[in-house]
Amino acid sequence: MRSLWALYKLSIRQQMHGKRWLVMCLLFLLPAGLAMLVRSNANGARPLEIEFVFAFMFIPQGLLPLAALVYAPGMIQDEQEEQTITYLLIRPISKAALYIVKLLATLTVVIFLTCVFTGVMYTVIYYNFADPDVPHPAVRCLQAAAINSLGVTAYCCLFGLMSLLTRRTLIVGVIYAAFFEGLLANLPLSVRLITVIYYTRIIAYRTMSFVVLRSWGESNIAADAWQLDIARDPKLLEHPQVGTCILVLTLASLVLAVLGAVICAKREFHVKTPEK
């Protein structure tokens, strides 16, 4: 356990140093900066609408897959490229445990980024800006951070597994994020059941309110944007419940993590040797 804890702390320090950490912090600050820009220039924009665009559209579809792609594939590949994996393999740690600990460290860093900068964004959106449609913005902030953390966990487990199957993880990951999470998740078809973002959206829709009062009446901006037919199915009986969504994402993450650990345990790692 002492060796595992030492590896966990070392992995976190590696992830939170260097240009990659700085770039990711700047990228996660982007929604807060854009929200501030919208608040300053769009007088008619409501806080709930700004929140929805950035917290439930921009971050889940853009930043979360990107953060997982930046961090998860490098768990093992970076160690190989830097020729440091040999020092890890000679320690009394199995390859499976090595993978799981590196994955946990990656999840710690990515979830930390998600939660902290979600809080910054909500502060920018709702500071000194009351909205009758949103009685408790702090509670919504915690809900959004939890939902997005659940989503980014699944992405990290998926891309971590991909990195053990192909060296072109970035290309495959971008294609997956664009096609499955970007295109299929936005279509009102059953095929979106295989996407991560679909389940996070259902959790958000069932646990949070996205109703805005218009001049012609109430409008549910989430149902309109996510292709949820609430006119025919107002209670979304054709869609899973919150507990089912959480269970699916959790089990999927666990299965992907275990598969990654099994593949890592059976894999032979080769490192470069200095040329003479």
> pLDDT category, 161, cuts 50, 70, 90?
very high
Q: How far apart are CA 229 and CA 235, in angstroms?
A: 10
In a domain, 240, yes or no: yes
Backbone angles phi, psi at 71, to 5 degrees: -95, -45
In a domain, 148, yes or no: yes
Q: Which residues of 155-189 are buried (b: 16+ CB within 10 A; e: fewer)?
A: bbbbbbbbbbeeeebeebbeebbeebbeebbbeee
Question: How many independent structural domains does the chain possess?
Answer: 1
**pLDDT for the residue numbered 259:** 95
CA distances from 67 to 25, 27, 60, 120 (A): 10, 9, 10, 17
**pLDDT for the residue numbered 273:** 55
**pLDDT for the residue numbered 79:** 75
In a domain, 12, yes or no: yes
**pLDDT for the residue numbered 271:** 57
pLDDT at residue 206 greater than cutoff 90: yes
**Whole-number mean pLDDT of the chain?**
87
Task: Give the residue-averaged pLDDT of 85-114.
Answer: 86
Q: How far apart are CA 221 and CA 115, in angstroms?
A: 24
In a domain, 275, yes or no: no
In a domain, 256, yes or no: yes
Structure tokens at 18: 């260097």
**pLDDT for the residue numbered 276:** 47
- The boundaries of the domain holding residue 138 are 2-266
With vertex at residue 160, the alpha carbon angle to CA 203 and CA 23, rounded to the nearest 5 degrees, is 85
For residue range 102-136, list pLDDT tens digits in order: 999 999 999 999 999 999 999 999 888 766 667 78
Q: How far apart are CA 144 and CA 222, in angstroms?
A: 14
In a domain, 272, yes or no: no
In a domain, 135, yes or no: yes
